[in-house]
Structure 1
Amino acid sequence: MLTKAEFDWIVSKVDPLAESVSAVQMEGGISSLIYKVALKTSGKIKYVIVRMIDDKQWLKEEKDLICHEAASLNHVGKIGNIPTPRWIASDVRGKHCRYPALLMGMLPGTVVLQSDNQPMWLEKMAKTLHAIHQIPANDFSWKYYAYHPLSNLRIPNWTKVPDAWRAAFAYMKQGTPAYEPVFLHRDFHPNNVLWEGENVSGVVDWVNACVGPAGIDLGHCRYNLAMLYGVSAAELF
């Protein structure tokens, strides 16, 4: 539940005359507490989202997470061709909230993981990712880097095909392929895409956005699709 100080901060940033109505913690946040907050302003109910990052290790490794996501939302928001949350305010040091926090507008739609028409569902996600990669990226400050250095790769002791892992590692260590830098979401997968009916209504969770190779987004989404639905869905995507 949000504290009074957190409610007061949210109200002050949205509309000082607003009345706080409710706050519901949303599911899905692995490294963050995410709340859907209802405010009554000018006689109408307005919904906003507050994300508080409570993963201490992540904050230690990346001290600028809140600034990063705010910059991502503002960068994408300027383009206007991808539905994304509108940045409202940041509590970078957790002065008003329990943890560093970002306040943003709420997008319509829901996550869809079981589509009645998977080929259409995959195609529209692919087109959405392609559109993200068309966003101008030259002036964006955050650049791609590998989360896991190649020197840390180890063959898992549970595998029955160690030679396949060994061959994959050898291939990866040949070097990074040449690429044209594009704007990346960096965590694009079905849980971060919202739908209304058969149309994409928004893309959320922009805290990792950066400039780098398009294949990073493609590979990350393919991995998630393969784990959820099998390799055939990843191939179709």
Structure 2
Amino acid sequence: MTHRDEAAAVRPLTLAWVSRHLEAGERIVGCEALHGGITAEMRRLTIGTRDGGTRALVLRTFVNRERAEDCLNREACALTLLAGTGVPAPGLVAADPAAAHCEYLSLLMTHLAGRTVLGDEGLETRVPALARQLVAIHALRPAERPRGYVARTTAETVVVPKGADAAAWAAAIDVIRRPAPPWEGRFLHRDFQPGNVLFDVSPARPAEARITGVVDWAAASWGPADLDVAHCSANLALLHGPEWGLRFPEAYEEAGGVSAAAASERLYWLVRDALALSEEVRRVSQPWREAGRAELTTRAVEERLDAYVTALMDTHG
């Protein structure tokens, strides 16, 4: 495949739009699809520079119009707020929030080094690193707050997996029927989980993994820190087993994070996010399988979710 053929994978109007945001003398010489995105198509663009070298940009294309404008605006706002903060996030290059220039709503950003790591090996190092990074995000006090968080489930929309512990799930659903506990606002990533964190890690030395980037800020919000903790906990439980979901809140506090004071309040957020994932098990597990975790079938993930919800209710309920 030639460089010209690869560049043609970008739709014509979008290709022209990207080209207008390059430096003088630069051009697109390569295009590679990035896997793992759920809300949008992702492409890594190789840019030929004037001096004969290359650099990389990432093009995010929201082909699904549902919530696309909100997602793009949240991400563009977040990347602007994060510039210069020390949080390793992409830099915003350009945005087309109304598809005025591209075929679909599009966002262009800088490319970060590193890769996602979804395997079990090296978890003892990566989980504390994830916790430290999340504490750093929550410590930000932007001059302009992002939009408020969106709750992603209700007691009526929870999908109880086949064969699940009925009593545990009924008790968990009752938890989220209550009003949300009082909370102190923090800057949230809102989808902070291993699939959105990049690491520099050698296969020979997985214990030396170092975070190089945090991506996918399309749900960035203002809300309770416990909600980000709960989301990462639930994803760790589904990827690596319930014990890792239970471990993450402890790691967050060990890293200096502050959770809700009362156990019942912490349980509310942990359960809310776990139950929200019940509605999208198939959607979240597919990218994991594409990334090499073939054993994480929809059924296997449902079973882990059941075990995690049951463990939450046994431990905190």
Please list the CA deviations of residues 77-132 of structure 1 after superposition, one character each: whole Å capped at 9, or x if unmatched: 142x2110000001112233221000000001111112532111110011101111
Distance 2:72 2:101 in 1: 14
- Look up the match of 1:121: 126
The structure in which a higher percent of residues are helix is 2
Q: TM-score, normalised by structure 1?
A: 0.91
Distance 2:154 2:196 in 1: 26
- Look up the match of 2:71: 65
Could you tell me which runs of 5 or more consecutive residues in structure 1 were left unpaired when the two chains were aligned: none
- Look up the match of 1:31: 39
Residue 195 of structure 2 corresponds to residue 191 of structure 1: yes
- Work out which of the residue numbers 121, 139, 146 in structure 2 matches 1:134: 139
- Look up the match of 2:219: 208
Secondary structure at the counterpart of residue 100 of structure 2? coil
Q: Which amino acid aligns with 2:229?
A: L
How far the C-alpha of 1:138 sits from its partner, in A, is: 6.1
How far the C-alpha of 1:192 sits from its partner, in A, is: 0.3
Q: Which amino acid aligns with 2:76?
A: A
Tell whether the 8 Å contact from 2:98 to 2:105 is kept in structure 1 after alignment.
yes
- Work out which of the residue numbers 37, 56, 72 in structure 1 matches 2:65: 56
Q: TM-score, normalised by structure 2?
A: 0.69
Please list the CA deviations of residues 15-37 of structure 1 after superposition, one character each: whole Å capped at 9, or x if unmatched: 14212201111111222111111
Q: 1:103 to 1:168 in 2, by over 3 A?
A: same
Distance 2:161 2:235 in 1: 23
Q: What is the total number of aligned residue pairs between the two structures?
A: 232
What does residue range 16-27 of structure 1 map to in structure 2 within 5 Å? 16-27=24-35
Distance 2:243 2:18 in 1: 45
4+ runs of 1 displaced by more than 4 Å? none
Could you tell me which runs of 5 or more consecutive residues in structure 2 were left unpaired when the two chains were aligned: 1-8, 202-208, 249-317
Distance 1:165 1:115 in 2: 27
Give percent identity, aligned residues only.
Answer: 28
Distance 2:159 2:27 in 1: 56
Tell whether the 8 Å contact from 1:155 to 1:166 is kept in structure 2 after alignment.
no
